A and B are shown apart, each in its own frame.
Chain A
Amino acid sequence: MGTHERVSTLFFLGLAVAICVESYRLGPGSFSQPGPGLVPLGSGLILGIFAFIVLVRTFRRKEEGENLWRGAAWSKIIYILASLAAYAGFLNSLGFPLINFLWMGLACWKIGKMGWKAALLTSLASTFFAYLLFEHYLSIRFPRGVWG
């Protein structure tokens, strides 16, 4: 955990610096006339101070700790994230029924390790019920895409 914690706190430290710089640019104003940058500047300072404290403590600790990513199924995680991005990217052009059918089918088959028949059935059923529940019952309008 030691190296990972150092990297994460360095990231937060960098983020805090960026927040403070941008908040200063926005203009913190004065205490009698507080500006839009005042509270973000305060939050950036607090984030930076405590990130620094945690960073210092990581150097004081002797043990390196376990590898956080050991055993992580990276392919599944990347697949899910990429599929979510693809869902968002193709939702308007393909339309909800088609993109949902494809996405659910692939998620069930590829990650859920279902057989293709079970995956097909699950994606058909979920698309149908989602369409029924959200579009008809809750009146949420989904993009039609290729269905016009």
Chain B
Amino acid sequence: MAAIPAPKILSVSQVNRLVAGMLEEYFSDIWIMGEVSNFKAYPSGHLYFALKDEESQIQAVCFRDSARKLKWKLEDGLLVIGHGRLEVYVPNGKYQIILDTIEPKGLGALQKAFEQLKKKLEQEGLFRQERKRPLPKLPKVIGIVTSPVGAAIHDMLKTLRLHKAHLKVLLYPVQVQGEGAAEQIAGAIAGLGRREDVEVIIVGRGGGSFEDLWPFNEEIVARAIAASRVPVVTGIGHEVDFTIADFVADIRAATPTAAAQIVAQGWHELEERFREVSSDLLNVMQERLFQEEQKVEELSRHRAFELVSRRISEISHQAEMQRAEMVNSIRSRLSGVTATVNSLTVRLSRQSPVAKIKGWQIQLGSLNSRMERSMTARRSGLSARLEGLAGSLNALSPLSSLARGYSICLKPDGRVVKSLSQVDVGEPVMVRVEDGKLGCEVKEKIKGGGNGK
């Protein structure tokens, strides 16, 4: 039988050192995944905890220098991925893993930090609805915290112009990403808040990666918003991006444009109201005038109006009837009167003085003719007598004396000379004889002598 070499007997220390050497050589650069358990942060800054899975666990350490680089905080129950190396503690033969990098599994480190700060501030009550302040309805001065270059400011100003004026904008230019951005943003919010004229603040930033938006997830910004004198509206990134600042803000708008819209909403509504009211004014007046027309139209068709018009036609019909009746009665009365008048005329004509006069005229005529007849008769009688008388008278007439030879001496004036005294010698006289006259002159006046008779 071959001799069995005597077994090499190692001391405990030797074993542990050998193990340490082997483990530390083979496990000097490994990634490990496990759930944090039994976490302890020491005042020195070192972090001690165990990483475990369903079946096993390993002690882990994160020394101060590595721990300081963590933006988020380790806690029990977190599933993490760590990078590091194994180290064996020779005195007790236990090994542990020294981690220089730890990332939350599933979430990025920033995401984790986000979750943690969110949780912390939520617990403090910073996101509570009661803390949210109403925005001024019609702000006159709006503070804006954003970068002076880029889409955000451009969009906000464009929107404010669109939703109109009445506004003054105070821009507090800040850096919105990178080192120091959070401090600037926090300072700007406080700075604008100190100005008495600023009534509302917009904190805005255009879209970017989660890392780009990071400053808005920092506690200093959240605190500044919470402490702001005036309400803060956030419009950070795009619709899907939520930052811690958004949670603390009095109003979270999806985008910078939306933030500007919300702030100017009151003005916008006022202007809309104005436009509506001014068109209402015209419409209501037109409507009124239309109604007036309708009223007139309706009235003209109204039953009462119809009744009135029927009544009018009735009345006019009645009036017509009455008129006809009256005309008839007048006519009949008139014909009665006419008859009366006629009969009266007849009667009257019978008693008329005309008739009497005629009668009288006839009487007169007959009297006249009777008178004439008797007159004629008398005249012819008288005439016969007159002729008889004339014959006898003739015998007595001086003219017949003349015929018998007598003459008559007449003065020029026609007086018959009957006495001497009537004439003077030399005076012309006319001597009338039967067949003419003799012009004579008194030659002498001889008294006495007469003619013997």
Q: Do A and B come from one complex?
A: no
Q: Which residues of B contact A (CB under 8 A)?
A: none
